Structure formats: structure tokens, C-alpha cells
């Protein structure tokens, strides 16, 4: 049967989602946990790769297993075999044609900035520290230009090979509560580092180093170096995958 799952992880101590030769990854940890339940190796597929240090609250994945165990029970079984910074939130039996990556209709990411003269002792592992006071209204104005179907070449890590750099972003929302600024980005698909480059560009708008209108021009210009820096990995969380 095909078992689908939702997994939450603190990415601080992992070299991202995808299996690597010499580094510990989240996919590897889940495959290792499955090994004790099955004679052979089981490959786990995720909805999206997350980079080293990036977190997930609602990464989705699936695997195939021959088992009499009801699919719902795998949550408990896997959690007893996984480290505390990787937690399965739900498992269920999926249709055989369900695919965590190809069936996904969209994703929500949240990028968190700690905006104060001091960094955060409590939220440091989940936020990027920006000491300069950011202008939230300007960031929200700039965010509006990002919404829509555009060629996001300027917001794609250089050197990544994709057929097309056109993507659809449905929502970019900038919200501040106490010292934490949350940038929520929803879209049907994302380029490599796209959300972190969006965050880095909005931070420059917040610092008044770029105007909101310049963000529109950056999209049109399709040149990576015109956009902002790639914001720190620890600020990013894959919040939810939509099906």
C-alpha cells in the first residue's frame, strides 16, 4: 500500500531533506526508521526538497510498503524510531496514484525575521536577525508586485537548471507581531532558493535600499544580481503542501 505522511522538522541539525552522501538528512532518518519495519530498503519521496537548515511544519511525503499495519498507526511507530527534531504529524493510506510531489497543487512557505537591535534567544533558530528597523508597509507594497504569474528568473539561484522559470505566486503577505515579521508566500511551484531571495529582496525594501516599484522592475529585468540576497536558511519554514 501507499502510505502518505505529514512531517514536521527542525532543520538546524540536518543537511536538508534529500539524501546526501556524507551528511545527515531528514529523508535518510525517515528511511532508516522504516528499515526496522521492513526486510528491504524503502525509498521515501517528499513534496519538495528543503535546504540545509530550513525547517518544515507540513512537509508531505509518501512511501510504499507491504504491511498489515493500518496506515494511521505508522505515525506512532515512526515517531518512536525518529529523533525528537523530526515528528510525523499524520499518516494515512493514499490512493496508488497519489504522489507527494507530482500531485501537489501548491505550497505555503513562511519566512520569519527577528527585527530588533538584539537577536532572539528563544527564536534565534527559527528567524533571521535584522537589526535595522524595517518598513513593513513598503514591504507589503513590494509584495503585491510578486503576486501573479511571472518569469521569476531574477529570483532563482544561479546555475540551477529548469525548463522554465515561470511560476505562479498566489499570495505574499507581510505581517509583524512584536519583534517577528512573517512573510507568507503561497504558490503553485517555486524555483531553487526563490522564497529566500523574495525574503532577501523584501528586506532590502524594508531597509529603504530598494523601492517597492523597483521590485516590479527586478521581476521584469530577469537578472539574479538585481534582486536581494538569499536570506538565511533558518528563517524559512515549509508550512503546508496543498493537494
Catalytic residues, by residue number, are 51
Nearer to its own copies, 79 or 141 (CB): 79
CB of 75 to its own copies, least distance (A): 6
- How far is CA 130 from each of CA 60, 82, 120, 149, rounded to the nearest angstrom? 30, 34, 11, 29
Contact present, 123 and 108 (Cβ < 8 Å): no
CB of 117 to its own copies, least distance (A): 7
CB of 91 to its own copies, least distance (A): 10
Nearer to its own copies, 124 or 148 (CB): 124
Nearer to its own copies, 117 or 159 (CB): 117
Q: Which residues form the interface with its own copies (CB under 8 A)? A: 8-10, 55, 57, 75-76, 79, 84-89, 116-122, 124, 126, 237
Number of neighbours of residue 67 by Cβ within 10 angstroms: 14
Pairing, β 106-114 against β 128-129:
parallel
Write out the three cell numbers for 6. 505529514
Q: Could you list the beta-strand ranges (E) of 121-209.
A: 128-129, 148-151, 166-177, 180-187
Nearer to its own copies, 181 or 227 (CB): 181
Cite the DSSP H helix spans in the chain.
26-35, 74-81, 136-146, 194-206, 212-221
Amino acid at each position: 500500500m501507499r502510505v502518505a505522511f505529514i512531517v514536521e522538522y527542525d532543520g538546524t541539525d540536518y543537511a536538508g531533506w534529500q539524501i546526501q552522501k556524507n551528511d545527515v538528512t531528514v529523508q535518510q532518518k525517515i528511511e532508516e526508521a522504516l528499515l526496522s519495519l521492513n526486510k528491504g530498503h524503502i525509498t521515501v519521496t517528499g513534496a519538495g526538497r528543503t535546504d540545509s537548515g530550513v525547517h518544515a511544519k507540513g512537509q508531505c511525503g509518501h512511501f510504499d510498503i507491504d504491511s498489515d499495519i493500518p496506515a494511521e498507526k505508522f505515525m506512532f511507530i515512526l515517531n518512536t524510531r525518529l529523533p525528537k527534531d523530526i515528528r510525523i504529524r499524520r499518516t494515512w493510506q493514499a490512493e496508488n496514484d497519489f504522489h507527494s510531489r507530482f500531485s501537489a497543487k501548491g505550497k505555503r512557505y513562511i519566512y520569519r525575521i527577528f527585527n530588533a537591535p538584539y537577536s532572539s534567544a528563544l527564536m534565534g533558530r527559527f528567524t533571521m536577525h535584522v537589526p535595522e528597523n524595517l518598513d513593513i508597509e513598503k514591504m507589503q507594497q513590494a509584495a503585491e508586485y510578486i503576486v501573479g504569474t511571472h518569469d521569476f528568473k531574477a529570483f532563482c539561484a544561479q546555475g540551477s537548471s529548469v525548463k522554465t522559470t515561470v511560476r505562479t505566486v498566489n499570495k505574499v503577505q507581510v505581517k509583524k507581531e512584536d519583534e517577528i515579521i512573517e512573510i507568507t508566500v503561497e504558490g503553485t511551484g517555486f524555483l531553487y532558493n526563490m522564497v529566500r531571495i523574495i525574503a532577501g529582496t523584501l528586506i532590502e525594501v524594508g531597509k529603504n535600499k530598494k523601492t517597492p516599484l523597483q521590485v516590479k522592475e527586478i521581476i521584469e529585468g530577469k537578472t539574479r544580481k538585481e534582486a536581494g540576497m538569499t536570506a538565511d536558511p533558518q528563517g524559512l519554514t515549509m508550512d503546508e503542501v496543498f493537494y
